């Protein structure tokens, strides 16, 4: 049996989650920022202003608050991500891009999500937006 030559390379579509598949600016990002500040306040015993300043400093210096916390304070990444990405009602906070499902289904090839958020958050968000089954893989910051 002869193999049929491939016409072109297989397509792989890689998507970020926040501010690509949904608009995180109005609800999700402010919630995460408050949660991170509160986590820092509690675990490093800082006041609100000090915790917020440290969160922003590490974000600007390292590109991620968590990286600074791990480097300088030996914060456990899994615990931090679990605590700072809790949502009482994520479905009300998500603002999926209009026509998201229809657009994704028209893309030929494999679709994956690569996010700097934790896997549990990404999988939950995709499920709530009704597009989880359209991706062959989801990679969180843990990966």
Please state whether 115 falls in left (phi above 0), alpha (psi between -120 and 50) or beta.
Answer: beta
What integer pLDDT is reported at residue 10 of this predicted model? 75
What integer pLDDT is reported at residue 143 of this predicted model? 86
111 strand-pairing partners: 13
Handedness of CA 98, 102, 107, 112 (dihedral sign): positive
pLDDT means per 10 residues in the chain (143 residues)? 61 95 97 97 97 97 95 96 95 95 94 95 97 97 88
What integer pLDDT is reported at residue 107 of this predicted model? 93
What integer pLDDT is reported at residue 2 of this predicted model? 53
* Edge-to-edge order in the sheet of strand 110-114: 12-15, 110-114, 137-139
Supply the pTM of this predicted model: 0.86
Q: Could you tell me which residues come within 8 angstroms of residue 120 by beta carbon, excluding any fewer than 6 positions away?
A: 82, 85, 140
């Amino acid at each position: 049996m002869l193999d049929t030559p491939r016409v072109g390379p297989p397509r792989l579509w890689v998507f970020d989650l926040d501010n690509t598949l949904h608009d995180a600016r109005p609800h999700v990002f402010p919630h995460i920022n408050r949660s991170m500040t509160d986590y820092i306040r509690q675990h490093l015993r800082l006041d609100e202003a000090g915790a917020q300043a440290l969160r922003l400093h590490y974000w600007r210096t390292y590109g991620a608050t968590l990286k600074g916390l791990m480097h300088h304070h030996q914060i456990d990444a899994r615990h931090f991500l679990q605590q700072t990405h809790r949502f009482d009602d994520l479905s009300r906070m998500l603002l999926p891009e209009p026509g998201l499902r229809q657009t994704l289904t028209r893309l030929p090839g494999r679709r994956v999500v690569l996010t700097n958020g934790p896997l549990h958050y990404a999988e939950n968000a995709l499920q709530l937006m009704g597009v989880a089954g359209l991706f062959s893989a989801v990679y969180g910051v843990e990966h």
